[in-house]
Amino acid sequence: MLEMDNKKDEYTDSVEKLLDSLALVRKIPQFRAFMPIRVIEITEEALLNYSRIGASLTSSIAEYYMLLSATSLEASRKAALKMAEIKDDEKARKVWIDVFEQEFNELFRSQRFGNIVNNIITSYADLLKCMASIVEAYFKELGLPTRSEMDSVYREMVKMKRDIANLTEEVKMLREMIERRRDEEIPNTSLAK
């Protein structure tokens, strides 16, 4: 655990150094001309967020593996105690499987394990959002279409496809209706002669 805290501190220190470097770059007039301040600010915010989320993710993953290891050790200890009295290899194997199954099922049902897995998934999703915000800021600055703009275009395209399909169906129904009316008028005109 101490080693993990040291790595966490090293990671935080390296991010802080990077942010300090960005702050220095922001003060240099030549760089300000090439990189708008808003992009630098967004990058700084995103890196701070990324650092915080990354530390949380690392901590949750370490706790996840510690729980798995502790459960495995406890299951091995219990299985060894039960198997010491059994001479038949097949029965010993079944006891071993039963003990491990019981211990890991208990772990997987625990609130703590669920919270840790939830933290890992949430942190990972937050990291992806953080990276997406950085990419979107740079794309916007470069004049490239951003993901949100592409999503908007896609939604409009889907709506248009749906509208076209509905209109096609209506045109088909109208054609059929016109054909039926023509068919009805043709016998009537032949009777009039």
HEC string of 101-150?
A: HHHHHHHHHCHHHHHHHHHHHHHHHHHHHHHHHHHHHHHHHHCCCCHHHH
* Residue 87 φ/ψ, nearest 5 degrees: -95, -30
Average pLDDT over residues 121-141: 85
Q: What is the pTM of this model?
A: 0.58
- Contact by Cβ (8 Å): 63, 118: no
Q: Is 130 exposed, middle or buried (0-12, 13-18, 19+ CB in 10 A)?
A: buried
Alpha helix positions (H), the chain? 2-27, 29-34, 37-83, 89-109, 111-142, 147-192
In the block, residue with structure tokens 């967020």: 49
Query: Cα–Cα–Cα angle for 77, 73, 108, nearest 5°?
Result: 115
Please name which of 69, 51, 66, 60 lies closest in space to residue 121, comparing C-alpha atoms.
Answer: 60
Per-residue pLDDT of 32-80, as tens digits, reads 555 666 677 777 788 888 888 888 899 999 999 999 999 999 999 998 8
Reported as a pLDDT band with limits 50, 70 and 90, residue 4 is low
Q: For the chain, first and last CA: distance in Å? A: 103
DSSP symbol at 84? T
Reported as a pLDDT band with limits 50, 70 and 90, residue 7 is low
